[in-house]
Structure 1
Amino acid sequence: MKKIKIISDRIGTVEAELLEDKNPKTVAAIWEKLPFEARANRWGDEVYFTIPVEIGEENPQETVEVGDIGYWPPGRGFCIFFG
């Protein structure tokens, strides 16, 4: 199990788990690029960051839960879902 820390001036530090069993290639690509900094953007019920990772889709999901994180390949987006 790999965990990352997301640090924000506004909300402090949040720990998140990367699900290697569901998306091993995506997790490896993100892990390899850590640490990195990114500017947060809001889109609907998510906060996303453009990150220095380029990898295609791996086990995509259409439905997410509040608190889930994900990676959106077309925009190189690391997403945190809150609504």
Structure 2
Amino acid sequence: MRIRILWPAGQATATLDPTPTADALWAALPISSSASTWGEEVYFETPVSVPREVGAQQVVEPGTVAFWTDGDSLALPYGPTPISRDGECRLAGPCNLLGVLDGDAGVLRTVRPGDPIRVERA
């Protein structure tokens, strides 16, 4: 499964793994939301609501496509957040892992809080 994430200043694509959360997100596409940022992480609400999966993680690699179950939100870290230690990507809490952005996750630096954001099948 491949998705495209679009915002006014750019776009990114990602490859999703076959997980229950990725399947639920795929079924809900396309979705539109409003971007928020937290340190070097972009996140936004989705209409998807799923439980935390076994294997959910709080510390991930830059470019991980994660789903924050506590906020029904997609979380896209590209660097440290306010609670990171030693430059790691530490999410607000354990998140379901959906896949990985294709290419450089640094493209997310162009997302501004409040930007309209759309996720669609690629």
TM-score range, shorter chain: 0.7 to 0.9
Q: Which has the higher strand share?
A: 2
Q: What is the TM-score with the length of structure 1 in the denominator?
A: 0.88
**Structure of greater Rg:** 2
Root mean square deviation of aligned Cα: 0.9
Q: Residue 32 of structure 2: SS of its match in structure 1?
A: coil
Q: What is the TM-score with the length of structure 2 in the denominator?
A: 0.61
Is there any run of 5+ residues in structure 2 with no aligned partner, and where? 80-122
2:9 aligns with 10
- In 1: Cα distance, 2:72 partner to 2:39 partner: 17
**CA deviation vs aligned residue, 1:2-30 (integer Å, no higher than 9, x gap):** 1100011112x21111121xxx1101110
Deviation for aligned residue 1:36: 0.7
2:17 aligns with 19
Is there any run of 5+ residues in structure 1 with no aligned partner, and where? none
Deviation for aligned residue 1:68: 1.0
Point out which structure has higher relative CO (alpha carbons under 8 A, 6+ apart).
2
Q: 1:33-44 alignment to 2 at 5 Å?
A: 33-44=28-39
Q: Where do 4+ consecutive residues of structure 1 move more than 3 Å?
A: none
Query: Match of 2:62, as an amino acid?
Result: V
Work out the percentage of aligned pairs sharing the same amino acid. Answer: 33
